[in-house]
Every structure is written in structure tokens, then in C-alpha cells.
Structure 1
Amino acid sequence: MIHQYQVTGMTCSSCEAKVKSALLTVENVTKVEVSKEDNSATITMDKHIALSDFQKALDSKYQISALNHNEIKEQAKSWFETYKPILLIFLYISMITVLIQLKNEEFNSMEWMRHFMAGFFLVFSFFKFLNLKGFAESYVMYDVLAKKIPLWAYVYAFVELGLGIANLIDFNPIITHSATLVVMLISIIGVLQSVLNKKKIQCACLGAVFNLPMSTVTIIEDGLMIIMSGIMLLTLI
């Protein structure tokens, strides 16, 4: 991906070199060409990078702006490409669990949530098992329990598998949903800390198969399971 930018504030060859050097330090940038005569920078990158990230890398005397592309559109496109795997998984699980409801005379929201949770845990545990060691190494970087007990990073994949099967066969709903609530509440603590502290680390939700950054998407993912398990518990008590 190549984008052109306007860079103001360059007055000499030294400025040109400083701008080029600074832009090359930005993650995912592979090549930079800078011209003080044209006040421009042509940047080659592995994926779209936010304009704010470039500005942070530059000295305050230099200002960078997009020339031939819509920054908002490119960011939206980049966001979708980054999270496409997890979005497709949620779409597939949603479609399948809704289709299951066609056998009922009316939509059963409790059954739908149970099936959705089953699909969620089974699919996500599957990706973790593809590279269990890789998942554990990523998970221990941010999960509060795994940091203290590294073995938990390995056990967690099995817990997700167990929760998926338990929801699928409707095993002791109170125990299943209580366990889900506790496990996901512990999980979301580390996620919240990482996102709020703006740590750039890999999210281990899909194991080590996809390089997904930790973000609000991970919070929503964990939060959804917490909400669903909480609702299911309230209906049983």
C-alpha cells in the first residue's frame, strides 16, 4: 500500500532526512521518499497507518496531511480488514443459531443465547488448539490470572472447549453459566487494562492464527459473553 502526504515545515536537506528517518520508525512502514521541494512524502506500508501515528513520530515543527486519499475511508477499510476474521465468525455463528430457531413456532431468546455461546466457545477454542503454545505465550502477556499462574494460559483453552460443550448439551445451566461468568470476568480485567493503557499487544482470542491487535473489539467480545451468561443466570434463579 502506497500513500502520498503533504509535509510542511521542511526548510533544508537536514529536515528532509529527519522527516524520512522519523517516518521509517513507524511500525508497518517499509519505504519512505521525502521531497522538501514538493513538501511531500510518499510512504509504502504493509497496511494503512493512521495519520496521527505519523504525526506523533514527527517533530512538532513538521505537519503531515493526506494528499490523494480519504483518511476516514482508509481507516474504516483498514479496521474491517484487520478484524474481518472475528467479524465473519460472529456473523456465521449468528446466522446458524438464528436458523436453528426456525424449527420453533416462535423465537426462543434463551435457547438462541445458549446456542450462540456454545458456538462462540467451540469455535474460539478450536483456533486456540491450532497452536496452543502460541496462544499461551500471547495470553500470558495480558491476562491477570495467567501472569501469576502461566499454566492457566494452557488450561483456558480447555475451559472454553468445556463451556462450549456444556452449552451445547445444556449441562447443568446454573453451573455452566456461573462458570462462564467467573471465567469471562477474570478475562476481561486484563483486556481492559491493556486497552486503557494503550498497550500494543496481540489479542489471543483467536489463538496465534490471526494477528489481531488488542482493542475495544476484544472488550465487546468478552462483555457479550458476560452479559449473556448473566441474563441466563437471572432467568434460572
Structure 2
Amino acid sequence: MTHTYQITGMTCGSCEAKVKSALLTLPDVTNVEVTRTSATISMDKHIALSELQKAIGAKGNYTISAEHHSEAAEQTKSWFAIYKPILLIFAYITVVSFIASFHNGAIHAMHFMQIFMAGFFLTFSFFKMLNLSGFAESYVMYDVIAKRIPIWAYLYAFIELALGIAYAVNFNPLITNATTFIVMSVSIIGVLQSVLNKKKIQCACLGAVFNLPMSTVTIIEDALMIAMSGIMLIQII
């Protein structure tokens, strides 16, 4: 994609060169054309205006603003493009769970959650298994247990697989949901720390197949599993 931005503060050819070099250092920027009042930037994916400002602001008193596009619309479009794989997976699992749990004109909540969690863990463990070492390398970057015990990163993928099978065959719901609640509660700690500290690292939820950044989406994903397993535990007890 290519966007043109207005830039103020450039007064000479040296300024233009500084701004151009600063923008070219940003990841995903492929080409930059700069004039005294504007910059046309080609990029592989949308870059937030704040990131562009940070880059050129470090070189001088320059200010960049969007010219012919809505920054909010572009950020929304970029967000959906980045998270499209995980959104599609959740949509497929949700639809299948609704269909499978629909009986006698109503959705059976407990059955829905059981099927959803089976689909979730089986699908997510599948992507981790495609490149187990790649997943482990990403997971140890933020998980509180894997940081101290690296083998946990490998075991985690198999635990997800086991949980998926357990939900699919309805194996001892008390043990299955209690295990899920504990494992996901521990997992979310590292995710929260990374997001709150604004660390720019890859989320390992879909293994190393998709380059998804750590964000609130990851928190929601883990929190959803904690909530569902907690609700099912309460119902069982």
C-alpha cells in the first residue's frame, strides 16, 4: 500500500534526506519519496502515524500528518488483516459449536462450551505442532514457567492436544476443566506482563506459522478459556 503524508518542518534538501532515511529504517517500509512538504510512503502493511512521527521526530523538529486517507480506518483495516487467521479460527469453532450444541430448539450452554474448547485446543495445538521448536522459541520469550524451565514450552503444546482430546471425548470433566483453569491462568500471567510492558514480541498462540503480535487479543483468548473452564467447574461442583 502507498500513502501520502503532509510533513512540516523541512526547509532544505538536507531535511528531506534526513526524513527519507528515517522513514526507510522502519520495518515494512519499501520505498519513500520526499518533497519539501510531503512524503509518499510505500509499505507492506499499514504503519501507525505515531510510529512514523517517532521516526522522523528523532531527526529534527518535523511533524507528519495523514493527507488523503483516514488513519483510523487504515488502522482498523490493518488490525483485521493481522488477526484474520485467529478471527477465522474462532468464527469456525463458534459456528460448529453452535450447530453441534443445538437441540430441541435451544443451545445447550455446557455442551457448547465443551465442543468449543475441544475445537480450540485441538486447532491451536495443531498449529503449534507444525513447527514445535519455532513455537517453543517464541513461548519462552514471555511465559513465566517456560522462561525458567524451557522444556515446558514443548510440553505445553502436548498439554493443549491432550485437553482437546479430553473435551472431545468428555473425559472426567472435573479433572479436565480444573487442569484447563490452572494451565491457562498461569499462561495468562506472562501474556499480561508482555502486553502491559508493551513488549513487541510474537504471540505463540498459533505457533510459528503466523506472525501475530502479542496484544489484547491474546489476553482475550486466554481469559475466554479460563472463564469457560471456571463456569463448567462451578456447574460440576
- TM-score normalised to structure 2 length: 0.97
Instruction: Give the length in aligned residue pairs.
Output: 235
**How far 1:32 sits from its partner (Å)?**
1.2
Q: Deviations over 1:36-79 (max 9, x none)?
A: 1xx01011111001111101112261110111211111111110
**How far 1:103 sits from its partner (Å)?**
3.6
Tell me the equivalent position of 1:80.
80
In structure 1, what is the Cα distance between the partners aligned to 2:217 and 2:25? 27
Q: Give secondary structure in 2 for the equivalent of 1:69.
A: coil
Amino acid at match of 2:88: L
**Equivalences for residues 45-194 of structure 1 within 5 A:** 45-59=43-57, 61-194=61-194
**How far 1:104 sits from its partner (Å)?**
4.2
Q: Give secondary structure in 2 for the equivalent of 1:148.
A: coil
In structure 1, what is the Cα distance between the partners aligned to 2:102 and 2:137? 42
In structure 2, what is the Cα distance between the partners aligned to 1:110 and 1:124? 21
**How far 1:106 sits from its partner (Å)?**
2.8
1:236 aligns with 2:220: no
Amino acid at match of 1:111: H
Higher mean displacement: 68-77 or 146-155: 68-77
Amino acid at match of 1:45: M
Higher mean displacement: 97-106 or 21-30: 97-106
> Which blocks of at least 5 consecutive residues in structure 1 are unaligned?
none
- Root-mean-square deviation over aligned CA pairs: 1.0
| Shift >4 Å, 4+ stretches | none
Q: Give secondary structure in 1 for the equivalent of 2:162.
A: helix
Tell me the equivalent position of 1:212.
212
- Preserved contact between residue 7 and residue 62 of structure 2 (Cα < 8 Å): yes
Tell me the equivalent position of 1:43.
41
Q: Give secondary structure in 1 for the equivalent of 2:188.
A: helix
Higher mean displacement: 21-30 or 69-78: 21-30
In structure 1, what is the Cα distance between the partners aligned to 2:90 and 2:104? 22
In structure 1, what is the Cα distance between the partners aligned to 2:231 and 2:54? 43
In structure 2, what is the Cα distance between the partners aligned to 1:28 and 1:142? 24
**How far 1:224 sits from its partner (Å)?**
0.2
In structure 2, what is the Cα distance between the partners aligned to 1:139 and 1:212? 13
Q: Give secondary structure in 1 for the equivalent of 2:107.
A: coil
**How far 1:15 sits from its partner (Å)?**
1.1
Tell me the equivalent position of 1:9.
9
Overall identity of the aligned pairs, in %? 69
> Which blocks of at least 5 consecutive residues in structure 2 are unaligned?
none
Amino acid at match of 1:57: A
- Preserved contact between residue 46 and residue 74 of structure 2 (Cα < 8 Å): yes
In structure 1, what is the Cα distance between the partners aligned to 2:103 and 2:110? 15
In structure 1, what is the Cα distance between the partners aligned to 2:233 and 2:53? 48
